[in-house]
Structure 1
Amino acid sequence: MEAAVSSLHLSSPAIHGSLRTSDFMFLGVPKPPSFLNPKLKAFAAIRCQSTSTKEPKAKRNLLDNASNLLTNFLSGGSLGSMPVAEGAVSDLFGRPLFFSLYDWFLEHGSVYKLAFGPKAFVVVSDPIVVKHILRENAFSFDKGVLADILEPIMGKGLIPADLDTWKQRRRVIAPGFHALYLEAMVKVFTDCSGRTTEKFEKLLDGERSRGGDAIELDLEAEFSSLALDIIGLGVFNYDFGSVTKESPVIQAVYGTLFEAEHRSTFYIPYWKIPLARWVVPRQRKFHYDLKIINDCLDGLIRNAKDSRQEADVEKLQQRDYLNIKDASVLRFLVDMRGADVDDRQLRDDLMTMLIAGHETTAAVLTWAVFLLAQNPSKIKKAQAEVDSVLGQESPTFESIKKLEYIRLIIVESLRLYPQPPLLIRRALEEVVLPGGYKGDKDGYTIPAGTDIFISVYNLHRSPYFWDQPHDFVPERFRVQKESEGIEEWAGFDPSRSPGALYPNEIISDFAFLPFGGGPRKCVGDQFALMESTVALAMLLQKFDVELRGSPESVELVTGATIHTKNGLWCKLKRRSNGY
Structure 2
Amino acid sequence: MAAASAASSLSHLSSQSVMNINLQRTDFGSLHSSAASNLLNFKPKSSRFRCQSTSTDELKTKRNLLDNASNLLTNLLSGGRLGAMPVAEGAVSDLFDRPLFFSLYDWFLEHGAVYKLAFGPKAFVVVSDAVVARHILRENAFSYDKGVLADILEPIMGKGLIPADLDTWKLRRRVIAPGFHALYLEAMVKIFTNCSRRSISKFDELLERENLQGGKTIELDLEAEFSNLALDIIGLGVFNYEFGSVMKESPVIKAVYGTLFEAEHRSTFYIPYWKVPFMRWIVPRQRKFQNDLKVINDCLDGLIKNAKDTRQETDVEKLQQRDYSNLKDASLLRFLVDMRGADVDDRQLRDDLMTMLIAGHETTAAVLTWAVFLLAQNPSKMRKAQKEIDSVLGEGEPTYIRLIVVEALRLYPQPPLLIRRSLKSDKLPGGYNGNEDGYEIPVGTDIFISVYNLHRSPYFWDCPNEFEPERFLVEKKSEDIEGWDGFDPSRSPGALYPNEIISDFSFLPFGGGPRKCVGDQFALMESTVALAMLLQKFDVELKGSPESVELVTGATIHTKNGLWCKLRKRSHVH
Fold conserved (TM > 0.5)?
A: yes
1:348-363 equivalent positions in 2, closer than 5 A: 348-363=351-366
CA distance in 2, matches of 1:408, 1:51: 23
CA distance in 2, matches of 1:493, 1:563: 31
Q: Who is 1:466 aligned against?
A: 461
Q: Who is 2:124 aligned against?
A: 121
Q: Who is 1:91 aligned against?
A: 94
Give identity over the alignment, percent: 82
The letter for the 1-side match of 2:59 is K
Deviations 1:61-115 (A, max 9, x none): 3332222222222222211311111112222221110000001000100000011
CA distance in 1, matches of 2:227, 2:47: 22
Does 2:260 correspond to 1:265? no
Aligned length: 526
Q: Who is 1:550 aligned against?
A: 545
**Residue pair 2:419, 2:447 contacting (<8 A) in 1 also:** yes
Aligned residue for 1:182, secondary structure, equals helix
Q: Who is 1:15 aligned against?
A: none
Question: Which of the residues 77, 90, 113 maps onto 1:74?
Answer: 77
Question: Which of the residues 437, 441, 446 maps onto 2:441?
Answer: 446
**Residue pair 1:414, 1:514 contacting (<8 A) in 2 also:** yes
Comparing 290-299 and 195-204, the one that deviates more: 290-299
**Residue pair 1:237, 1:328 contacting (<8 A) in 2 also:** yes
The letter for the 2-side match of 1:532 is S
Does 2:172 correspond to 1:177? no
Q: Who is 1:53 aligned against?
A: 53
Does 2:375 correspond to 1:380? no
CA distance in 1, matches of 2:282, 2:328: 45
Deviation, 1:290, is 0.9
Aligned residue for 1:241, secondary structure, equals coil
Deviation, 1:273, is 2.1
**Residue pair 2:51, 2:102 contacting (<8 A) in 1 also:** no
Q: Structure 1 residues 553 and 283 mapped into 2: Cα distance closer, same or farther (>3 Å)? A: same
Q: Who is 1:337 aligned against?
A: 340
Q: Note the residue ranges of structure 2 that are not aligned, 5 or more in a row.
A: 1-45
Deviation, 1:269, is 2.0
Pairwise CA RMSD: 1.2
Deviation, 1:58, is 4.1
**Residue pair 2:240, 2:331 contacting (<8 A) in 1 also:** yes
**Residue pair 1:80, 1:444 contacting (<8 A) in 2 also:** no
**Residue pair 2:52, 2:102 contacting (<8 A) in 1 also:** no
Does 2:421 correspond to 1:426? yes
Aligned residue for 1:283, secondary structure, equals helix
Question: Which of the residues 288, 292, 304 maps onto 1:289?
Answer: 292
CA distance in 2, matches of 1:104, 1:339: 47
Relative contact order, CA 8 A, sep 6+: which one is greater? Answer: 2
Deviations 1:373-396 (A, max 9, x none): 000100000000000112xx6xxx
Does 2:451 correspond to 1:456? yes
Aligned residue for 2:571, secondary structure, equals coil
The letter for the 2-side match of 1:550 is S
**Residue pair 2:256, 2:292 contacting (<8 A) in 1 also:** yes
Comparing 53-62 and 91-100, the one that deviates more: 53-62
1:178-327 equivalent positions in 2, closer than 5 A: 178-327=181-330
Deviation, 1:51, is 4.6
Q: Who is 2:477 aligned against?
A: 482
Query: Normalization by structure 2: what TM-score?
Result: 0.90
**Residue pair 1:219, 1:567 contacting (<8 A) in 2 also:** yes
Q: Structure 1 residues 117 and 220 mapped into 2: Cα distance closer, same or farther (>3 Å)? A: same
Deviations 1:172-220 (A, max 9, x none): 0000000000001000000000000000000000000001100000000
Aligned residue for 2:551, secondary structure, equals strand
CA distance in 1, matches of 2:141, 2:164: 14
CA distance in 1, matches of 2:99, 2:53: 11
The letter for the 2-side match of 1:430 is S
Deviations 1:9-54 (A, max 9, x none): xxxxxxxxxxxxxxxxxxxxxxxxxxxxxxxxxxxx9422x35433
CA distance in 2, matches of 1:54, 1:373: 28
**Residue pair 1:46, 1:555 contacting (<8 A) in 2 also:** no
1:119-158 equivalent positions in 2, closer than 5 A: 119-158=122-161
CA distance in 2, matches of 1:272, 1:62: 28
CA distance in 2, matches of 1:237, 1:158: 20
Does 2:341 correspond to 1:346? no
CA distance in 1, matches of 2:345, 2:405: 37
**Residue pair 1:365, 1:532 contacting (<8 A) in 2 also:** yes
**Residue pair 1:83, 1:112 contacting (<8 A) in 2 also:** yes
Aligned residue for 2:59, secondary structure, equals coil
Q: Who is 2:531 aligned against?
A: 536
The letter for the 2-side match of 1:521 is K
Aligned residue for 1:571, secondary structure, equals strand
Q: Who is 1:107 aligned against?
A: 110
Comparing 436-445 and 523-532, the one that deviates more: 436-445
CA distance in 1, matches of 2:92, 2:235: 41
Deviations 1:133-152 (A, max 9, x none): 00000000011111111111
Query: Normalization by structure 1: what TM-score?
Result: 0.89
